[in-house]
Amino acid sequence: MSQQTADFIGFDTSIGASPARSIPQVQRSAWDQCARLLLLALLVLSCMTFLDYGVTTDEEVQHIYGKRLLSFYLSGFQDMSAFTFKDLFRYGGLFDLMVAVLIPVSPFEEYETRHLLSALFGVVGVAGTWRLGRLVAGPRAGFMAALLLALSGVYYGGMFNNTKDVPFAAGMVWSLYYATRLVLLLPRPRLGLVLRFGAAVGLTLGIRVGALFLGLYLGVAILAHLVHVWRRGGFGAALGDAWGTVVALWPCLPVIYALMAALWPWSVFEPLNPIVALQAFSHIPFTLQTLYFGELVYASDPPALYLPAYLLIKLPEALVIGTILGALRGAIWLAASRRGGWAAARPWLMVGLAAFLPIVLFMIFRPTIYNGIRHFLFIVPPMAVIAARFFDDAWAAVERLGRRAGQAAAAVLATVCLLYAFQLGKMHPNQYVYYNQFVGGIQGAYGRFEMDYWGNSLQEATRELVALVERENDGNPPDRTYTLSICGNPLAVRGELPSWLRIVDGTAEWRNADFFMAFTQVRRCPQLLDGQPVIEISAEGVPLSVVKDRREPQE
């Protein structure tokens, strides 16, 4: 590849190099320090705000599963109830087991403990994105990758109550980080690195069977490496590297298996149980429907473009644009390279596979999907890395025009990030509902795409209802009991109820309740009962939940 071509598409032609890798050591340390400060800020913010988030519809069954798994161990493997409880046995129990162990010593209530731990997993995922970006593109790109992920509403908002997908995304990005380091050291990576990779994959399998994707990514990268060796040194050299790779990597297998068995016992009851789980989750026979461009489509038969469309509108514009342009630029570079391309391309092969292969497989096999991109949240960190590399190289290209040009580029990037942060702050605590301006924001997505599908806003609505009634009584609890009917997730409300407010669910009582609360995710919910609207929880002017006062007017 000519130097002119390399300059045009933003790649350094030296092996594994990028413009970010050539910055002075002082600057490298500064960007690493920025990343650490970002992680500290996320940690502090998580500890300050985790109580603001509601309980999701999935959390109750996951919590029960965790307690039953703990009982399985405490009973000496006699209590098998965890493996007959709904379909939860097909999931790993890492997170739910941790919660079950922590609850007796936690100063917080059960679901508050879950939310704090989930937020900490989210910060760990941002840290993994930083380390992956730093590995493949340098310290500045690593910081930008972490920042892009942290400013993604679907990730940041989900950190606090998406207790399955966020921990899984965190495990996947750390596993990808170690896998990429392995690929860079083929055919004989160090034993310590191999064992850390095995631990990361084993823990991630202890959350969800989708961690098997990592084996596919690594297998493709190893195959590409062997083809490269074969072309340069012949069949004998490739065979030698293949044997060396097998010898080097086999110690990770018992680590993976042991952790998977401990955190997901059902997976080892039968040899093929992980494959059975993967097949089961690929085509869950749900009658559930999900919104897609204003139409309700069955989750078990989604359109091929469901996932790409949601990714296009749920992620920040900068992340989407950076990912697309970064991927196109990388493809041009690979097509233009003639010699030595594999050395620089191999880490990006891993990142590219992690970002795009699940999308391609989804479009081919169209597995069950609903709630937008939450089941595929694990592909967002590698996408953030690709986008960060693109912006880092673009910034470096501008810097070559002069100091002021570089400062102007930095100012533009900083302004964009501040705008995203301000927007997420305004949406608190409903950041996961975020939509970008490609669809007109939340207002443009309302009625066309999934909104507050977990009913996170119901907790805030409950708190406002309690405050409203107590204001009517001069700041004191009323001297009578009021009833509340709900169209949504009652679990999100129960933890906030004072003694004078009671949820009713019998048909007659439900229709005659004093107050009616509904989330707007299900279109018909707010119209099921009449009453005077007194509370509306909204994001960017779009109602997420409403409360109606149905009491008889007082004379």
**DSSP secondary structure, 471-512, as one string:** HHTTTS--SS-EEEEEES-THHHHTT--TTEEE--SHHHHHT
In a domain, residue 58? The reply is no
In a domain, residue 555? The reply is no
Instruction: Specify which residues 483 forms β-bridges with.
Output: 502
| pLDDT score recorded for residue 496 | 84
In a domain, residue 410? The reply is yes
User: Alpha-carbon distance 129 to 110, whole Å?
Assistant: 29
Same domain, 535 and 386: no
Instruction: Specify which residues 543 forms β-bridges with.
Output: 538
Q: What's the Cα-to-Cα distance from 486 to each of 334, 521, 527, 544, 550, rounded to whole Å?
A: 56, 13, 12, 14, 13
Tokens representing 216 are: 């596919």
Cβ neighbourhood burial of 553 (10 Å; 0-12, 13-18, 19+) = exposed
Tokens representing 198 are: 């095995």
User: Alpha-carbon distance 275 to 516, whole Å?
Assistant: 45
Distance from the Cα of residue 232 to its chain's centroid: 40
Amino acid at 310: Y
Same domain, 277 and 337: yes
User: Alpha-carbon distance 168 to 92, whole Å?
Assistant: 10
In a domain, residue 226? The reply is yes
Same domain, 420 and 310: yes
In a domain, residue 478? The reply is yes
Q: Hey, is 448 helix, strand or coil? A: coil
Same domain, 222 and 348: yes
| pLDDT score recorded for residue 13 | 35
The tens place of each residue's pLDDT in the chain, 555 residues long, gives 334 333 333 344 333 344 345 555 656 689 999 999 999 999 999 999 999 999 998 899 999 999 999 999 999 999 999 999 999 999 999 999 999 999 999 999 999 999 999 999 999 999 999 999 999 999 999 999 999 999 999 999 999 999 999 999 999 999 999 999 999 999 999 999 999 999 999 999 999 999 999 999 999 999 999 998 998 899 999 999 999 999 999 999 999 999 999 999 999 999 999 999 998 888 887 788 999 999 999 999 999 999 999 999 999 999 999 999 999 988 887 776 655 566 678 899 999 999 999 999 999 999 999 999 999 999 999 999 999 999 999 999 999 999 999 999 999 999 999 999 999 999 999 999 999 999 999 999 999 999 999 999 999 999 999 999 999 999 999 999 999 999 998 888 988 899 999 999 888 899 999 999 999 998 899 999 999 999 999 999 999 999 999 998 754
The dihedral through the CA atoms of 221, 227, 229, 235 has a sign that is positive
pTM of the full predicted structure? Answer: 0.93
| pLDDT score recorded for residue 475 | 92
Same domain, 382 and 481: no
CA atoms within 13 A on the CB side of 69: 27
Same domain, 288 and 230: yes
In a domain, residue 94? The reply is no
Same domain, 139 and 27: yes
Evaluate whether 197 touches 259 at the Cβ level (below 8 Å).
no
Same domain, 44 and 189: yes
367-377 pLDDT tens trace: 999 999 999 99
Same domain, 355 and 476: no
385, 409, 427: which is the final residue of a domain?
427
| pLDDT score recorded for residue 10 | 39
Same domain, 396 and 524: no
In a domain, residue 74? The reply is no
Evaluate whether 120 touches 46 at the Cβ level (below 8 Å).
yes
Same domain, 419 and 473: no
Tokens representing 400 are: 């070559």
User: Alpha-carbon distance 151 to 137, whole Å?
Assistant: 20
371, 405, 427: which is the final residue of a domain?
427
User: Alpha-carbon distance 8 to 3, whole Å?
Assistant: 9
Distance from the Cα of residue 430 to its chain's centroid: 15
Q: What's the Cα-to-Cα distance from 251 to each of 213, 223, 275, 502, rounded to whole Å?
A: 19, 19, 22, 57
Amino acid at 201: V
| pLDDT score recorded for residue 201 | 98
In a domain, residue 533? The reply is yes
**How long is the chain?**
555
The number of folded domains in the chain is 2
| pLDDT score recorded for residue 44 | 98
Q: What's the Cα-to-Cα distance from 164 to each of 41, 210, 246, 256, 435, rounded to whole Å?
A: 23, 12, 32, 20, 22
Same domain, 328 and 183: yes
Residue numbers of the domain that contains 524? 457-549
Scored b (16 or more CB within 10 A) or e, 209-231 reads: bbbebbeebbeebbebbbebbbe
Nearest in space to 199 (alpha carbons), one of 164, 165, 170, 171: 171
Q: What's the Cα-to-Cα distance from 411 to each of 28, 184, 408, 415, 482, rounded to whole Å?
A: 19, 35, 5, 6, 54
Tokens representing 271 are: 């040899």
